[in-house]
Chains A and B, each alone.
Chain A
């Protein structure tokens, strides 16, 4: 019974998240509401960490595999983007690195300044 209860809880909250999404008019996926719900339930000790730890560890470990179908789908989109492939690639690559470096260095500066104080 290491997985049954915990996996059940995670699935219930996923479903709850999808239902919430129907009532809240924001472009936010149900999974984010589910994540918030599980976090709150853990905080309130209504769900115990031990119950969900094993199944969540399993799901997170196999998570990269879940992205493979979408990534392989890029092979069908090549024609669609051929017209503006250069700007797309430049913008995607540059902005990804800018975000990575800006958010990494700014948060690191905050952490180090507080440590020095």
Chain B
């Protein structure tokens, strides 16, 4: 089984897609935030791999091609952004303030909690870019002397957390404006959150894509400054 997976260019992709499809089906039946297709599919894949004793490396070898589409899919986010251009113009102040304050509060929280837990500088830097998209986050972590593979893990957990909890959190804190919702999701949980925002609505999706880009840029600029202070 392990070898079949390792030598296939498709099995891992098929398994991922199938598990996601099952997750999406469960979601339409269950209608709760915990029934999140991404979370369900990740758990299903892990269960499948452990059951048939397939290594992650073998699965990864046959699933990596689906991840390869991440670059064109991110480029494609320009389309909803362009379609929502008018709305973006009207809400420029909200975009700048929302993403700016959100990113800043995130950096500050990580700074304070890292101090509280007595983390070393390298560990702090590892967690610092956890709210931005993987490629930016890993680059920032690497450049400032963190552990990139751990950063990647923190980024994925953040994204799934945003994907699963964003709707509930918005409800609890009465964030009801579609623009504000999208900005919140994109700033907090990058592309994985954005894929959720896209499901909620067009405006939410476009604002989330915008926030993902902006918060990434702010983090790149701010990370080196705050690291010098730590």
Contacts and interface: CB of A to CB of B under 8 A. Distances in A.
A is bound by B: yes
Interface of A: 7, 10-11, 13-14, 17-18, 26-32, 34-39, 42-43, 49, 52-53, 55-57, 59-77, 80-81, 84, 87-108, 110-112, 114
Contacts, number: 322
A66 B74 CA distance: 11
Interface residues of B, number: 108
B143 A27 contact: yes
B125 interface: no
B188 A27 contact: no
B78 A69 contact: no
Interface string B153-185: 110111111110110011001011101110111
B66 interface: yes
B26 interface: no
Contact of A34 (B75, B119, B183, B216): B75
26 contacts: A27-B139, A29-B74, A31-B70, A34-B71, A43-B85, A52-B79, A60-B198, A65-B17, A69-B59, A70-B67, A70-B156, A75-B49, A81-B153, A87-B123, A88-B150, A89-B157, A94-B109, A100-B162, A100-B170, A100-B187, A100-B188, A101-B175, A104-B173, A106-B97, A108-B98, A111-B94
Interface of B: 12, 16-17, 19-20, 37-38, 41-42, 45-46, 49, 56, 59-60, 63-64, 66-67, 69-83, 85, 91, 93-95, 97-99, 101-103, 105-106, 109-110, 113-114, 117, 119, 123, 127, 130-131, 133-136, 139-140, 142-143, 149-150, 152-154, 156-163, 165-166, 169-170, 173, 175-177, 179-181, 183-185, 187-189, 191-192, 194-196, 198, 205, 209, 211, 213, 216-217, 220
B62 to A, nearest CB: 9
Contact of A104 (B133, B170, B191): B170
B99 A59 contact: no
A63 B191 contact: yes
Contacts of B213: 32, 35-36
B192 A64 contact: yes
B20 A64 contact: yes
B156 A55 contact: no
Interface of A is mostly: helix
A110 B97 contact: yes
Contacts of B163: 64
Contacts of A64: 20, 37-38, 163, 192, 195-196
A59 B127 CA distance: 29
